[in-house]
Amino acid sequence: MKHSLKYIFILTITLMFSGCYKEESPLTGLVEIVGDVAQVSSVTAPAEGTAGSTIELTIKCSALNTNITEFKFYQRIGTSGAYTLTKSEPLYPIFSTAERLHVIKVPYTVPSESGKTFSIQVEAITANGLASAKRTSSPASIKIL
């Protein structure tokens, strides 16, 4: 019995110290981290706008370990076809501590094709040139009056 307790004690100590061993990542030295890509959480737009007028978009975004330098805006008239780059806007960060995101208001000019709909996509560009995934506005289709 005395020998059993001795072996259990040695085994317990061995297991305790083996749990402290820190393994290295298998990717160490193989990859270079350029920086994190920013994320556009949401783009909110009004449901309609008068042709040629200015509407206000609300963009919520976050960036960890990097800075967003600009937003690129893409637009599509109608419900099909490709999106085209319409403008680029520098970021003036406004951090909302309540939402833990940047909440930015950006003016956007409504296309002058009344009676149709259009949609907007936004992507964030970081200081190191990486682009986020494009986020489509909500509502996805904005009516032009």
pLDDT tens by residue, 52-104: 999 999 999 887 777 888 999 999 999 889 999 999 998 877 777 777 888 88
Average pLDDT over residues 135-139: 93
Q: Provide the number of structural domains found in the chain.
A: 1
135 in any annotated domain: yes
Residue 132 lies in a domain: yes
Joined tokens for residue 27: 């990717």
Examine residue 78 and state whether it is found in any structural domain, yes or no: yes
Q: Which amino acid, one-letter code, is at 30?
A: L
Q: Can you give the pLDDT at residue 66?
A: 77
- Give the CATH number of the domain where residue 112 resides: 2.60.40.10
Cβ proximity of 105 and 58 under 8 Å: yes
Mind giving me the DSSP string for 109-122?
EPPS-TTSEEEEEE
Flag whether 6 is in a domain. Answer: no
Could you count the other beta carbons within 10 Å of the beta carbon of residue 118?
20
Look at residue 109 and tell me if it is in a domain.
yes
The answer to whether residue 33 is domain-embedded is: no
**CA-to-CA distance for 34 and 31, rounded, in angstroms?**
9
What pLDDT is recorded for position 74? Answer: 97
pTM of the model: 0.73
Tell me which DSSP letter residue 97 carries.
T
Domain that holds residue 85: 39-144
